[in-house]
Amino acid sequence: MIRDDLAKMRRDYASTELHEENAAKDPLDQFRSWVSDAIQAEVLDPNAMTLATCGDDRRPSVRVVLLKYYGDEGFTFFTNYTSKKGRELDQNPNAALHFFWPELHRQILIQGQVTNFDKAAGDEYFLSRPLDSKIGAWTSHQSAEVASRKVLDDRFAELQKKFGDDVPPPPFWGGYTLRPDCYEFWQGRVSRLHDRLVYLRTDDDWSIKRLAP
């Protein structure tokens, strides 16, 4: 077994505390507050989140995607619908999002079910993207096997000539919105006695519970 001294790596967390009496009653407000903190702290890519999915084969998959919108409707990201994540979400809409901001010693876990984002709104977002990103979306048959990098580069060049500056939204590209039924906010603390508050959706409200670290 390769060790590389990983077992010796330790870091003590001495930062902000997270108490029930100070936490927002609505988890979306708590999320908004922590996102604001992450932006002010200049955390690298504060909207980067790990998306966990699991299809019919019951083998979980994870990857990092970017949060583009959030609000009462849920948390929205965009992708290729024919990608592995797209296929798995079609098979099983249950998913999880995870944010990790090491500079603040914070994590957020959000669980729920996904639905397809509104197509017109998704197309509007697509048209706002940089030109190369729009062509890239057409170029990549995401998660499919590719013979070589040259195949991708040649395909990109062909599509540049085809579309010019007028790139339409691909029919296989769009957004998903995860509607949360559970949030967990994790704040690193000393002696590994971290703060963990979980919000669970009730009929039309949220309950807050503390979990052991």
111 token code pair: 């669980």
Residues 95, 113 contacting (CB under 8 angstroms): yes
- Of 181, 185, 172, 177, nearest to 205 by C-alpha is 181
Residue 179 in 3-state DSSP?
Answer: strand
Within 10 Å of residue 145's Cβ, how many Cβ atoms? 5
Catalytic positions, written as ranges = 192
- Which amino acid is residue 79, in one-letter code? T
Residues 179, 120 contacting (CB under 8 angstroms): no
